[in-house]
């Protein structure tokens, strides 16, 4: 969601705050702002829209100061206007906030009664007024912050400056992550480790309820009760990670092209290609005795979970439930004793998935997390972590994280099958061989980029697009539709091909392109029958299949893409790429903002 940066420095901070916001812009880009303290006076600059608007404001009206906070916003309360942009000011403080203050209405009413007047529609502004109120009553900054935090309900990460306190910054974390960075005579706050790239790699993840008082050379951390606590300082790899587009026009394209490499890296942690074996690190559970697996995630990660259900049930014979985190957490799910709950998340911070994780942990499930960010909250709270090694994913639309999640899930399905003896040695070798070939096959798929760009030129004129697939390719149809709608704003729906005649077929006419994902395999003929039903009603099909699949059917389609023929287990990994590229080129054709599509944010840390 929103991005936060804070610097207590020895040198001017304004430019460095903006640099950090640039790295954080993927988290939210409705508006941005910074505030600094200079000669005991708080000052701020804000602008609605992209960060470049703030940069233009700062160019005309620079900010001085050795201490400052910055924010890039994904709106929750109040429209994305300058008035609602952070930092928010009270009479004595400046505050930036990620999260939601649930009791803001009652706090705001009480503050208005006490004579405060508000200039934004945000929940954040109550924090600024509440804190100012405490300071006006004579509390020390430390006590005022503690007292204010005690009044707040909801999820938040905060960075706070106080008028007159030129060497002091406060931060707090409840529900939303916050990182403290240790530099050379400087200290930092960031909503994630990427915020601190280039500043320091010595970081400390605040724990739930922690808050911090820091100067340029001291950091004091307190827990929810106000007791001073020590938290471990670690060296973060994320802060050294390069966050640039290379030669690519967009992060999304770069990340699509990275897939052969990162999927190869991921697989190499889970398979031994030489001996054609699965290698699972020490498991904290015994797959032989697991009664049921519950897979929980949101969005694209949820589609990875859907694919995994097919694999785990087929190869390891373990019953699998798949749940959308936001639905799971408010149901009364009946969890089996001895069950394993697996949480899949690129960021490891998605609020609904995290809440579901905590629920399962409390309910006595063994909890595993499949995450891209190894230091994320989910990774830290799970009993066991399966890292996906995709590297930083900056494009808001998830691409390489999806295929890396699938790689881990495929290895787990096979590994569980081996341990449960539902897979014999020869099948293990066949499946591991199929997975080891995926990176090179992905590289072949990327050669279709130009052809997909041509198809996208037509697709860009469509109002609605359907995606069809069966089995493990049904979630790929859903993922293709999600990619298209989120970055090109074209309405798209994915369906299980066999469901077509139960309703969606009514949508089909000559104006609705239908992307059919039909790799050769046990379900090929059935998918083709559904495709024929659509063509018989005027549907214009874009067919994705392999050479054998296209042999007798490509002439029925208005366009086709030939993918390598691979083992059925590998098809979702490969077919993810053309649907990503199709969405990408359609969006570029339409001229939308591919990396920062409207209304979206990368890491959804509010429910
Ligand atoms: C879509 C997309 C989102 C995320 C979802 C979950 O392209 O990126 O649907 O997959 O918000 O995010 P994580 O995986 O970080 O929990």
Contact 350 CB / ligand 1 (< 6 Å): yes
Between 61-70, 134-143, 188-197, 335-344, the lowest mean confidence (pLDDT) is in: 188-197
The rounded Å distance from CA 325 to ligand 1 centre is 12
* Average pLDDT, integer, range 333-351: 93
pLDDT tens track for 324-339: 999 998 898 999 899 9
Is 60 one of the catalytic residues? Answer: no
Tokens representing 279 are 């290698």
Residue nearest to atom 8 of ligand 1 (CA): 398
- How confident is the model at residue 505, as a pLDDT? 87
- How confident is the model at residue 74, as a pLDDT? 81
Sign of CA dihedral 76, 77, 83, 87: negative
423 vs 415: CA distance, rounded Å: 9
Tokens representing 262 are 């990162």
Marked catalytic residue, from 2, 298, 404, 546: 2
- Exposure string of 261-292, with b = 16+ CB inside 10 Å and e = fewer, is ebbbbbbebbbeeeebbbebeebebebeebeb
Contact 399 CB / ligand 1 (< 6 Å): no
**What is the best residue among 176, 251, 350 to mutate for testing ligand 1's pocket, by most ligand atoms within 8 Å of CB?**
350
Contact 345 CB / ligand 1 (< 6 Å): yes
Question: Measuring CA to CA, which residue among 302, 356, 398 is closest to residue 26?
Answer: 398
- How confident is the model at residue 243, as a pLDDT? 67
Domain ranges of the chain: 3-242, 253-436, 447-607
Task: Answer whether 210's CB lies under 8 Å from 219's CB.
Answer: no
299 vs 274: CA distance, rounded Å: 35
pLDDT tens track for 289-324: 999 999 999 999 999 999 999 999 999 999 999 999
Mean pLDDT of the chain: 93
The rounded Å distance from CA 344 to ligand 1 centre is 10
* Number of neighbouring beta carbons within 10 Å of residue 230: 7
Burial degree of 446 (CB within 10 A; 0-12, 13-18, 19+): middle
- Exposure string of 584-599, with b = 16+ CB inside 10 Å and e = fewer, is bbbbbbbebebbbbee
CATH of range 253-436; options 3.40.50.620, 3.40.640.10, 3.40.50.10490, 3.40.50.300: 3.40.50.10490
DSSP state, 408?
H
Give the neighbor-by-neighbor strand order of the sheet with 187-190: 41-48, 31-38, 67-73, 3-8, 187-190, 179-182, 202-205, 234-235
- How confident is the model at residue 240, as a pLDDT? 52
Burial degree of 332 (CB within 10 A; 0-12, 13-18, 19+): exposed
Tokens representing 129 are 């007024």
Contact 353 CB / ligand 1 (< 6 Å): yes
Residue 504 has pLDDT above 70, yes or no: yes
572 vs 96: CA distance, rounded Å: 41
Please identify which residue in the block is written with the tokens 């500043």.
199
Task: Answer whether 373's CB lies under 8 Å from 245's CB.
Answer: no
In sequence order, what are the residues at sequence separation of 6 or more whose Cβ sits closer than 8 angstroms to the Cβ of residue 339? 290, 291, 292, 293, 294, 365, 366
Alpha helices in 296-399 (DSSP H): 299-316, 325-328, 351-362, 377-381
2 vs 101: CA distance, rounded Å: 14
Is 602 one of the catalytic residues? Answer: yes
Marked catalytic residue, from 146, 254, 540, 602: 602
The distance of Cα 434 from the centroid of its chain, to the nearest Å, equals 28
378 vs 383: CA distance, rounded Å: 10
Q: In Å, how far are 29, 39, 311, 430, 479 from 307, measured between CA atoms?
A: 32, 58, 7, 19, 11
Please identify which residue in the block is written with the tokens 């988290």.
27
The distance of Cα 60 from the centroid of its chain, to the nearest Å, equals 35
Task: Answer whether 451's CB lies under 8 Å from 420's CB.
Answer: no
Question: Measuring CA to CA, which residue among 383, 391, 6, 376 is closest to residue 186?
Answer: 6
Residue 439 has pLDDT above 80, yes or no: yes
* Average pLDDT, integer, range 148-176: 94
Alpha helices in 77-207 (DSSP H): 104-113, 124-136, 141-151
DSSP state, 595?
S
Strand, coil or helix: 26: helix
Residues above pLDDT 90, as percent of the chain? 82
Task: Answer whether 217's CB lies under 8 Å from 182's CB.
Answer: no
Evaluate whether 253-436 and 447-607 have a shared fold: yes
**What is the best residue among 297, 301, 405 to mutate for testing ligand 1's pocket, by most ligand atoms within 8 Å of CB?**
301
Residue nearest to atom 10 of ligand 1 (CA): 300
The rounded Å distance from CA 376 to ligand 1 centre is 15
pLDDT tens track for 506-528: 889 999 999 999 999 999 999 99
Q: Which CATH superfamily is domain 3-242 in?
A: Aminohydrolase, N-terminal nucleophile (Ntn) domain (3.60.20.10)
**ω before 87 within 30° of 0 (cis)?**
yes
In sequence order, what are the residues at sequence separation of 6 or more whose Cβ sits closer than 8 angstroms to the Cβ of residue 177? 157, 191, 192, 205, 206, 349, 376, 377, 605
- How confident is the model at residue 239, as a pLDDT? 54
* Number of neighbouring beta carbons within 10 Å of residue 138: 8
In sequence order, what are the residues at sequence separation of 6 or more whose Cβ sits closer than 8 angstroms to the Cβ of residue 203? 179, 180, 181, 182, 190, 193, 196, 233, 234, 235, 236, 239, 375
469 vs 456: CA distance, rounded Å: 19
The rounded Å distance from CA 256 to ligand 1 centre is 15
Residue 245 has pLDDT above 90, yes or no: no
Residue nearest to atom 5 of ligand 1 (CA): 299
Question: Measuring CA to CA, which residue among 131, 118, 18 is closest to residue 71?
Answer: 18
Contact 366 CB / ligand 1 (< 6 Å): no
Contact 388 CB / ligand 1 (< 6 Å): no
Residue nearest to atom 11 of ligand 1 (CA): 299
- How confident is the model at residue 12, as a pLDDT? 96
Question: Measuring CA to CA, which residue among 467, 402, 463, 458 is closest to residue 586?
Answer: 458
Tokens representing 589 are 């054709």
Contact 376 CB / ligand 1 (< 6 Å): no
Any idea what the Cα angle at residue 321 is, between residues 320 and 322, rounded to 5°?
Answer: 120
Looking at the DSSP bridge assignments, the partners of residue 341 are 294, 367
Number of H helices and number of E strands within the chain? 19, 27
The rounded Å distance from CA 350 to ligand 1 centre is 8
Contact 586 CB / ligand 1 (< 6 Å): no
pLDDT tens track for 76-114: 777 889 999 999 999 999 999 998 898 999 999 999 999
| 447-607 is a CATH 3.40.50.10490 domain | yes
């Amino acid at each position: 969601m929103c991005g936060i940066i804070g610097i207590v420095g020895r040198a001017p901070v304004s430019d460095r705050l903006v640099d950090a916001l640039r790295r954080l812009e993927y988290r939210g880009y409705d508006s941005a702002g910074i505030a600094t303290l200079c000669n005991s006076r708080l000052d701020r600059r804000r602008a609605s829209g992209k960060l470049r608007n703030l940069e233009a404001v700062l160019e005309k009206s620079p900010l001085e100061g050795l201490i400052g906070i910055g924010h890039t916003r994904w709106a929750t309360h109040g429209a994305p206007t300058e008035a609602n942009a952070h930092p928010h000011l009270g009479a004595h403080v400046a505050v930036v906030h990620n999260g939601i203050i649930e009791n803001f209405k009652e706090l705001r009413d009480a503050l208005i009664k006490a004579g405060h007047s508000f200039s934004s529609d945000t929940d954040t502004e109550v924090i600024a007024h509440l804190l100012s109120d405490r300071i006006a009553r004579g509390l020390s900054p430390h006590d005022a912050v503690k007292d204010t935090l005690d009044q707040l309900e909801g999820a938040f990460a905060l960075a706070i400056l106080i008028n007159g306190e030129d060497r002091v910054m406060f931060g707090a974390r409840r529900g939303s992550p916050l990182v403290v960075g240790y530099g050379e005579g400087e200290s930092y706050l960031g909503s994630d480790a990427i915020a601190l790239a280039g500043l320091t790699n010595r970081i400390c993840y605040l724990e739930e309820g922690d808050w911090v008082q820091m100067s340029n050379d001291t950091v004091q951390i307190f827990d929810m009760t106000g007791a001073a606590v020590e938290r471990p300082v670690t060296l973060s790899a994320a802060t050294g990670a390069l966050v640039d587009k290379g030669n690519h026009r967009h992060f999304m394209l770069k990340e699509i092209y990275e897939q052969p490499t990162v999927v190869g890296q991921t697989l190499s942690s889970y398979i031994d290609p030489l001996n054609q074996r699965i290698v699972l690190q020490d498991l904290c559970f015994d797959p032989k005795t697991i009664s049921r697996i519950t897979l929980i995630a949101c969005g694209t990660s949820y589609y990875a979970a859907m694919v995994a259900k097919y694999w785990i049930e087929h190869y390891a014979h373990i019953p699998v439930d798949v749940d959308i985190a936001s639905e799971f957490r408010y149901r009364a799910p009946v969890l089996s004793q001895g069950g394993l709950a697996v949480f899949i998340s690129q960021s490891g911070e998605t609020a609904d998935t995290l809440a579901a994780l905590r629920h399962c942990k409390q309910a006595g499930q063994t909890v595993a997390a499949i995450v891209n960010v190894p230091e994320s909250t989910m990774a830290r709270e799970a009993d066991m972590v399966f890292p996906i090694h995709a590297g930083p994913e900056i494009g808001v639309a998830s691409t390489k994280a999806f295929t890396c999640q699938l790689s881990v899930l495929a290895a787990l399905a096979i590994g569980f099958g081996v341990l449960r003896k539902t897979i014999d040695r020869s099948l293990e070798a066949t499946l591991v061989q199929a997975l080891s070939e995926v990176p090179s096959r992905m590289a072949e798929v990327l050669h279709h980029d130009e052809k997909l760009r041509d198809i996208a030129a037509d697709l860009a004129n469509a109002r609605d697009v359907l995606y069809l697939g069966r089995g493990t390719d049904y979630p790929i149809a859903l993922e293709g539709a999600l990619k298209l709608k989120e970055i090109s704003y074209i309405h798209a729906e994915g369906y299980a091909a066999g469901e077509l005649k139960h309703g969606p077929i009514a949508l089909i006419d000559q104006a609705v392109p239908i992307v059919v994902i039909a790799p050769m395999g046990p379900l090929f003929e059935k998918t083709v029958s559904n495709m024929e039903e659509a063509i018989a009603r005027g549907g214009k099909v874009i067919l994705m299949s392999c050479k054998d699949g296209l042999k007798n059917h490509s002439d029925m389609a208005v366009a086709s893409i030939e993918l390598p023929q691979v083992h059925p287990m590998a098809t979702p990994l490969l077919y993810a790429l053309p649907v990503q590229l199709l969405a990408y080129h359609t969006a570029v054709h339409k001229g939308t903002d591919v990396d920062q599509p409207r209304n979206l944010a990368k890491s959804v840390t509010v429910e």
